[in-house]
């Protein structure tokens, strides 16, 4: 069953409507003083100060916004199997105010949808470790065209009208950290206001596999600092909630995340040294494969690792 959840990523993903991420919005009132609430009907609301208000668009000038988000896995339910954003449902909460007059379609009606979009947007999403390349190599959604009404500045249409997240995107959500890049090209000089957004996350309906225990195998990493070798790790699952798991490896790194079916999505690393996130897949009761991306704190070393594991 689809349930609405207050999730920072869900908020930013929903902001495909326009570039609200120009002004940081944080969970629990962080990130520039804005606050976020959720109603009994599941509408996430941005409701204080300048957050989501008076965002300036300049005609023909692309805006590239990179936002890094972290959240504690499990704080918002899940794990999840899907995410859907109905852009049309958000239209009543978004306004675009042109800086000058625009030519409207010939009509005798008091209000008419403009035939030229007010802005186009592309969004790219990746694991947090790929912050340096997200705008070119991230998971791509779009382009989206946003049309406004010629009289009241209300957004009247968004095309495409809805978004269904890829499985790779859902894996990143279940891991607990991500980076998002929005590239917006406005067609007019304008300001934008956003009052609230909503989104739907589909809870995982597949029982979590039993992945707890000691695992060992080999790893191979590519990137700016390639390496390979042997690895051993210990996976622990919460007996009261098998969809929550964590693991430590022989390098002293620790990770946490969510288990949906045979897939364990995680994030972690060694504080002050490197960050890493990825997906552990139980291929059979005694074997597993793992892929991840990593980035050290200096940003010099980054890349992708693949592990082949067997259970002790």
Q: Token match 């917006």: residue?
A: 184
Better-scored residue on pLDDT, 108 or 53: 53
Residue 208 placed within a domain: no
- Kindly report, residue by residue over 106-130, the tens digit of the pLDDT: 554 555 656 777 778 788 889 988 9
Average pLDDT over residues 232-258: 95
Indicate whether 195 and 285 sit together in one domain: no
- Kindly report, residue by residue over 278-296, the tens digit of the pLDDT: 999 999 999 999 999 999 9
Indicate whether 198 and 54 sit together in one domain: yes
How many domains in the chain? 2
Average pLDDT over residues 6-31: 30
Average pLDDT over residues 54-76: 73
Indicate whether 121 and 162 sit together in one domain: yes
Indicate whether 232 and 299 sit together in one domain: yes
Find the domain containing 40 and state its range: 2-203
Question: Which of 174, 203, 232 delimits the end of a domain?
Answer: 203
DSSP 16-68: GGS-GGGS---GGG-SSS--EEE-TT-EEEE-STTTTS-EEE-TT--EEEEEE
Indicate whether 138 and 9 sit together in one domain: yes
What is residue 137's predicted lDDT score, i.e. its pLDDT? 92
- Kindly report, residue by residue over 161-195, the tens digit of the pLDDT: 888 889 998 998 889 887 878 777 778 787 776 55
What is residue 188's predicted lDDT score, i.e. its pLDDT? 77
Residue 78: pLDDT band (50, 70, 90) is: confident
Judge contact between 174 and 279, C-beta under 8 A.
Answer: no
Indicate whether 152 and 132 sit together in one domain: yes
Indicate whether 199 and 238 sit together in one domain: no
Question: Which of 203, 225, 258 delimits the end of a domain?
Answer: 203
Indicate whether 96 and 217 sit together in one domain: no
Residue 48 placed within a domain: yes
Residue 26 placed within a domain: yes
- CATH number of the domain within which 266 lies: 2.40.128.20
**Confidence (pTM):** 0.75
Residue 244 placed within a domain: yes
> Is the Cα torsion angle 221, 227, 231, 234 positive or negative in sign?
negative
What is residue 243's predicted lDDT score, i.e. its pLDDT? 95
What is residue 153's predicted lDDT score, i.e. its pLDDT? 59
Indicate whether 159 and 221 sit together in one domain: no
Residue 155: pLDDT band (50, 70, 90) is: low
Task: Please check the confidence at residue 58 and state whether its pLDDT lies above 60.
Answer: yes
Question: Which of 154, 176, 203 delimits the end of a domain?
Answer: 203
Indicate whether 17 and 136 sit together in one domain: yes
Indicate whether 74 and 120 sit together in one domain: yes
- Kindly report, residue by residue over 1-18, the tens digit of the pLDDT: 323 222 222 332 333 333
Indicate whether 168 and 221 sit together in one domain: no
Average pLDDT over residues 23-48: 34
List the strands of the sheet with 190-194, edge to edge. 55-57, 190-194, 94-98
């Amino acid at each position: 069953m689809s349930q609405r959840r207050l999730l920072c990523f869900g908020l930013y993903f929903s902001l495909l409507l326009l570039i609200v991420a120009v002004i940081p919005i944080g969970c629990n009132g962080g990130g520039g003083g804005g606050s976020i609430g959720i109603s009994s009907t599941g509408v996430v609301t941005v409701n204080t100060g300048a957050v989501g208000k008076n965002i300036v668009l300049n005609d023909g000038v692309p805006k590239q916004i990179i936002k890094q988000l972290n959240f504690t896995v499990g704080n918002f339910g899940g794990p999840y199997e899907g995410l859907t954003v109905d852009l049309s449902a958000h239209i009543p909460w978004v306004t675009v105010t042109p800086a000058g007059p625009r030519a409207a379609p010939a009509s005798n009606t008091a209000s008419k949808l403009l035939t030229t979009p007010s802005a186009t947007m592309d969004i790219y999403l990746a694991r947090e470790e790929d912050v340096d390349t997200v705008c070119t190599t991230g998971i791509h959604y779009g382009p989206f065209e946003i049309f406004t009404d010629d009289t009241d500045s209300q957004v009247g249409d968004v095309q495409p009208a809805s978004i269904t997240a890829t499985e790779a995107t859902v894996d990143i959500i279940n891991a607990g950290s991500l980076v998002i890049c929005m590239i917006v090209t406005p067609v007019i000089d304008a300001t934008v206001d956003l009052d609230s957004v909503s989104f739907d996350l589909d809870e995982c309906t597949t029982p979590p596999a039993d992945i707890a225990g000691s695992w060992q195998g080999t790893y191979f990493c590519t990137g700016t600092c390639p390496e390979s070798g042997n690895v051993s790790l210990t996976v622990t699952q919460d007996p009261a909630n098998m969809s929550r798991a964590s693991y430590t490896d022989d390098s002293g790194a620790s990770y946490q995340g969510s288990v949906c079916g045979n897939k364990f999505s995680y994030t972690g690393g060694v504080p002050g040294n490197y960050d890493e996130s990825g997906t552990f897949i139980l291929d059979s009761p005694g074997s597993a494969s793992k892929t991840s991306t990593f980035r050290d704190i200096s940003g010099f070393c980054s890349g992708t690792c693949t592990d082949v594991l067997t259970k002790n």
